[in-house]
């Protein structure tokens, strides 16, 4: 990242609260340096050479227990159920190949209260999309069910990086609900069925796994036209469809 303006936007998006900071992918420490001004930081970095660089760069902060640096694939750390043992805010420049997986996991981590993350622009759009938006899908619904606020803080053109990636990025801010409900694996599978083919109707997608009579019955009760596309159905409507089909479909 060579654009200091973007770094400032990230810092400004972090809530001014007492939560700890967890950083994923500190890289060369450009953002870490700002975070350490006011906060203690737990940082996860998978690249051993970068860890060696960071240990030298932040030797004083590490000795003062302001920075805890861990050389690990952060996805392996999730087996503990949380990235930190008390309330924290996640700040991350996420690699494109793990961004979606990481975000879904921290949405289910009750210790994580706020998320400020740089991800691929396409992924960012999916997480913050609202019903009827072109990017609206299962990721939008899972994020909406866990968060009280979702927004893109700033778009990040590829020219802001050295070397330049092939795609643009965006910084998103997600403020989680105080007590988000855990989303069941069955509900996630249900959403995958609903959005299996975005151009097909909600009736067609669901008909592959559920009885058509039951689908029509619940759609009618919710005043949802059978020819509606998946992205035209709201979170609350999906919740009701799921509950009905779970109770009535053998």
Quote the longest CA-to-CA distance of the chain: 67
CATH fold of 4-176 = Rossmann fold (3.40.50)
Q: Could you tell me the pTM of the whole model? A: 0.92
Q: How confident is the model at residue 177 (pLDDT cuts 50, 70, 90)?
A: very high
Assign a CATH topology to domain 185-248.
Helicase, Ruva Protein; domain 3 (1.10.8)
Domain boundaries, the chain: 4-176, 185-248
> For residues 119 and 221, is the Cβ–Cβ distance under 8 A?
no
The pLDDT tens digits of the residues spanning 190-214 come to 999 999 998 899 999 999 999 999 9
Nearest to 134 by CA among 229, 241, 242, 237: 229
d(C-alpha 208, C-alpha 84), whole Å:
41
């Amino acid at each position: 990242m060579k654009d200091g303006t973007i770094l400032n936007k990230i810092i400004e998006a972090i809530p001014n609260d007492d939560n700890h900071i967890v950083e994923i992918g500190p890289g060369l420490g450009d953002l870490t340096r700002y975070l350490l001004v006011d906060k203690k930081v737990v940082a996860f970095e998978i690249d051993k050479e970068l860890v060696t660089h960071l240990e030298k760069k932040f030797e004083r902060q590490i000795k003062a227990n302001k920075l805890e640096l861990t050389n690990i694939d952060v996805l392996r750390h999730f087996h503990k159920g949380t990235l930190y043992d008390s309330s924290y805010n996640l700040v991350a420049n996420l690699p494109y190949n793990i961004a979606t997986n990481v975000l879904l996991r921290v949405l289910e981590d009750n210790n994580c209260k706020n998320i400020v993350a740089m991800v691929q622009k396409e992924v960012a759009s999916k997480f913050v999309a609202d019903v009827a938006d072109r990017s609206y899908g299962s990721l939008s619904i899972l994020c909406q069910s866990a968060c009280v606020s979702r927004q893109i803080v700033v778009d990040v053109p590829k020219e802001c990086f050295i070397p330049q990636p092939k795609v643009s990025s965006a910084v998103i801010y997600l403020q989680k609900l105080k007590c988000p409900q855990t989303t069941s694996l069955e509900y996630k599978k249900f959403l995958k069925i609903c959005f299996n083919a975005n151009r097909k109707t909600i009736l067609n997608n669901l008909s592959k796994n559920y009885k058509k009579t039951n689908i029509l019955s619940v759609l009618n009760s919710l005043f949802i036209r059978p020819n509606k596309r998946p992205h035209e159905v709201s979170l609350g409507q999906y919740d009701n469809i799921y509950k009905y089909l779970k109770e009535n479909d053998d």
